[in-house]
Structure 1
Amino acid sequence: MSDIVVSGYYGFANAGDEAMLAAMIEALTDIEPNINITVISGNPEDTRRRHGVSAVYRLNYPEIARVITKSQLLISGGGSLLQDVTSDRSLYYYLSIMMLAKKLGRPVMLYAQGIGPVQGALAQGAMRYIGNMVDLITVRDDGSYEELKRLKVTIPPIHITSDPVLAMHPVDKQIGRAILKQHGQEGVAPLIGISVREWKDWGHYKQVLAHAADLMIEELGARVVFLPMQSPDDLSVSEKIASRMKNPAGVLPGEYTTSELLSLVGNLDLLIGIRLHALIFAAVMHVPMAGISYDPKIDRFLETIGERHVGTLKTVTAESLMARIRQLWTERKQAGREREERINVLRNKAFQNAELALSLIKERQ
């Protein structure tokens, strides 16, 4: 039996990060069903309940050292852990866990990471020093690979794969249908979902989305529902946008599991997303999407599936968004074979992350 410790942004009710953890567990156990996984978490009790794995508190370094010592591999990932744009403290925290594992003589793998931007001189030096100590790196896009090259992280083997969530199996839509019914969102009219996040208290994109959502209802005869991915932050901004609309729109109030969110997205006719993993859920469930960018990771993901964002949070307009929505609306009944082929390639690459992780353990045995 293999023992693996997983470090990442888990236990904070962020649907995208919880989805990445669920996807890692699913892929690893698909290959090796008896694997023993311990997660370093901000809320160990929630992580144990939600994912059925062992968990330790992220600031309990003695306990973290104990479980790493018993393990055969530390996985750091996935997500955008190694960047200093939102916070440099988190960058140094994740690097410290990697350094601890190396000091304890354990191999370290960066698992489908979205690297950067890393801007500070000290942060770049730390990334270069510790990044070159790890044993294996997989990154989820070409941009992350280029960032590693810029940082001169060149010693470990580096593989370009894709986001772990893309390896997940599509789920039954019935669960999402029941949630929509529970909140009065059932109906025969087509359903458009919107996944948003707060960003620096900016108001422009909120007004744009409110105006565009009204146009979707009036012009396309659609129903609109807001789908929060991180509670309570996304719920608050969703309600702000809905309150600016002339027409009624639904806002789902709950905190949902990865399977429930995938099922909810599967019930949509189209998704508009600011959150990266809302867009990835749409890809997994083969739902057409329009992305609005606030971070290079959005651009990078959309490029991998042959798409482009409709604007950034600063530049998006109701006109540009509606132009893309109208285009997707006329195409949504078509097979979208080229996009599905791209997604299937990415699904195989996402599964490769788990294969490489377990191969690294076997090489060391």
Structure 2
Amino acid sequence: MSNIVISGYYGFANAGDEAMLAAMIEALTDIEPTVSITVISGNPEDTRQRHGVSAVYRLNYPEIARIMAKSNLLISGGGSLLQDVTSDRSLYYYLSIMMLAKKMGLPVMLYAQGIGPVQGALAQGAMRYIGNMVDLITVRDDGSYDELKRLKVTAPPVYITADPVLAMHQVDKSIGRAILKQHGQEGVAPLIGISAREWKDWGHYKQVLAHAADQMIEELGARVVFIPMQFPDDFSVSQKIAGRMTNKAGMLPDEYTTGELLSLVGNLDMLIGIRLHALIFAAVMHVPMAGISYDPKIDRFLETIGERHVGTLKTVTADNLMAKVRQLWVERKQPNQERTERINTLRNRAFQNAELALSLVKERK
């Protein structure tokens, strides 16, 4: 039986990160049903209940070391852990966990990471030093591969795969239908979902989304529902946007599991997303999507499926967004075959992350 420790931004009720963890667990157990997984978490009890695995508090270094001593592999991933734009403290934290594992003789794999940007000179040096110690790296896009080369992380083998969530199985849509009905969102009119997030208290993109949502209702006869990926933050910003609308939009005022969010997205005719994993959920459930960019990871993901964002949070306009919505409206009954093929290819690449992880364990045993 393999014993694997997983390090990442878990236990903080972020739907995207929890989805990545769920996807990793699902893929690893698909290949090796008896694998034992312990997650380093900000809320171990929540992680145990949510994912059905063992968990240890992220700052309890003695306990982390004790578990590592009995393990075969440390996985660091997925997501954008190794960057210093939102915080350099988190970068050094994740590097410290990797360093601890290597000091204990434990193989380390970076699993489907979105690397960078790493801008500070000290942070770049730390990335280069510790990054070259690890045993295997998979990255979720070409941009991350290029960032590793720029940082001169060249010692470990590096594979370009895909975000772990893309390997998840599709889920039953009846779960999402029941949630929509519970909140008065059932109906025959087409349903467009919006996944928004707060960003520096900016107002421009909120006004754009409000204006475009009104146009979708009036021009297309659609219903609009806001879906919170991180609760309650996304619910709060959704209320701000809905408050600027002339027409009424639906709100989902709860926190949802990965399976529930996938099912909700599967019931949509279209998704407009700022959150990366809302867009990825749409890809998994084969729902047409329009992305608004706030970070290079949005651009990178959309490029992998042959798409481009409709604008950044600073530059997006209601006209550009509506032009994309009208284009996607046709795809509800005529799916984009090229995009579907790209997504299926990415699904296979995403599953490769787990295959490589367990191959590394087998080699080291």
Once residues 236 and 9 of structure 2 are traced to their aligned partners in structure 1, the CA distance between those partners, rounded to angstroms, is 22
Deviations 1:233-252 (A, max 9, x none): 11110110011100000110
Aligned pairs for 1:64-79 (under 5 A) are: 64-79=64-79
Deviations 1:128-176 (A, max 9, x none): 0000000000000000000000000000000000000000000010000
Partner residue, 1:138: 138
Aligned pairs for 1:244-259 (under 5 A) are: 244-259=244-259
Once residues 275 and 59 of structure 2 are traced to their aligned partners in structure 1, the CA distance between those partners, rounded to angstroms, is 27
Once residues 61 and 160 of structure 1 are traced to their aligned partners in structure 2, the CA distance between those partners, rounded to angstroms, is 31
Partner residue, 1:356: 356
Instruction: Name the SS of the counterpart of 2:192 in structure 1.
Output: strand
Partner residue, 2:87: 87
Letter in 2 for 1:329: W
Once residues 64 and 206 of structure 1 are traced to their aligned partners in structure 2, the CA distance between those partners, rounded to angstroms, is 42
Instruction: Name the SS of the counterpart of 2:106 in structure 1.
Output: coil
Once residues 132 and 155 of structure 2 are traced to their aligned partners in structure 1, the CA distance between those partners, rounded to angstroms, is 5
- State whether structure 2 residue 329 is matched by structure 1 residue 345: no
Once residues 320 and 251 of structure 1 are traced to their aligned partners in structure 2, the CA distance between those partners, rounded to angstroms, is 24
- State whether structure 2 residue 125 is matched by structure 1 residue 119: no
Partner residue, 2:288: 288
Residue segments in structure 2 that go unaligned for 5+ positions in a row: none
- State whether structure 2 residue 35 is matched by structure 1 residue 38: no
Once residues 330 and 44 of structure 2 are traced to their aligned partners in structure 1, the CA distance between those partners, rounded to angstroms, is 46
Instruction: Name the SS of the counterpart of 2:290 in structure 1.
Output: strand
Q: Percent identity?
A: 88
Instruction: Name the SS of the counterpart of 2:246 in structure 1.
Output: coil
Once residues 171 and 201 of structure 2 are traced to their aligned partners in structure 1, the CA distance between those partners, rounded to angstroms, is 35
Instruction: Name the SS of the counterpart of 1:118 in structure 2.
Output: coil
Partner residue, 1:200: 200
- Deviation, 1:257, is 0.5
Partner residue, 2:321: 321
Partner residue, 2:178: 178
Once residues 87 and 326 of structure 2 are traced to their aligned partners in structure 1, the CA distance between those partners, rounded to angstroms, is 38
Partner residue, 2:101: 101
Deviations 1:40-71 (A, max 9, x none): 00000000000000000001111111111110
Once residues 31 and 215 of structure 2 are traced to their aligned partners in structure 1, the CA distance between those partners, rounded to angstroms, is 47
Once residues 9 and 330 of structure 2 are traced to their aligned partners in structure 1, the CA distance between those partners, rounded to angstroms, is 39
Deviations 1:77-132 (A, max 9, x none): 00000000000000000000000000011000000000000000000000000000
Kindly report structure 1 stretches of 4+ aligned residues shifted beyond 2 Å. none
Deviations 1:251-290 (A, max 9, x none): 1011000000000000000000000000000000000000
- State whether structure 2 residue 28 is matched by structure 1 residue 28: yes
Instruction: Name the SS of the counterpart of 1:70 in structure 2.
Output: coil
Once residues 203 and 122 of structure 1 are traced to their aligned partners in structure 2, the CA distance between those partners, rounded to angstroms, is 34
Deviations 1:163-196 (A, max 9, x none): 0000000001000000000000000000000001
Once residues 253 and 336 of structure 1 are traced to their aligned partners in structure 2, the CA distance between those partners, rounded to angstroms, is 32
Once residues 358 and 331 of structure 2 are traced to their aligned partners in structure 1, the CA distance between those partners, rounded to angstroms, is 41
Partner residue, 1:234: 234
Once residues 153 and 234 of structure 2 are traced to their aligned partners in structure 1, the CA distance between those partners, rounded to angstroms, is 35
- Deviation, 1:333, is 1.0
Deviations 1:3-38 (A, max 9, x none): 000000000000000000000000000000000000
Aligned pairs for 1:251-270 (under 5 A) are: 251-270=251-270
Once residues 193 and 132 of structure 1 are traced to their aligned partners in structure 2, the CA distance between those partners, rounded to angstroms, is 42
Once residues 118 and 335 of structure 1 are traced to their aligned partners in structure 2, the CA distance between those partners, rounded to angstroms, is 38
Once residues 254 and 2 of structure 1 are traced to their aligned partners in structure 2, the CA distance between those partners, rounded to angstroms, is 36
- Deviation, 1:335, is 2.6
Instruction: Name the SS of the counterpart of 2:188 in structure 1.
Output: coil
Deviations 1:290-345 (A, max 9, x none): 00000000000000000000000000000000010011112321132111110000
Letter in 2 for 1:255: E
Once residues 189 and 338 of structure 1 are traced to their aligned partners in structure 2, the CA distance between those partners, rounded to angstroms, is 27
Q: What RMSD, in angstroms, separates the aligned Cα atoms of the two structures?
A: 0.4
Partner residue, 1:222: 222
TM-score by length of 1: 1.00
Once residues 281 and 165 of structure 1 are traced to their aligned partners in structure 2, the CA distance between those partners, rounded to angstroms, is 8
Letter in 2 for 1:180: L
Once residues 109 and 309 of structure 2 are traced to their aligned partners in structure 1, the CA distance between those partners, rounded to angstroms, is 31
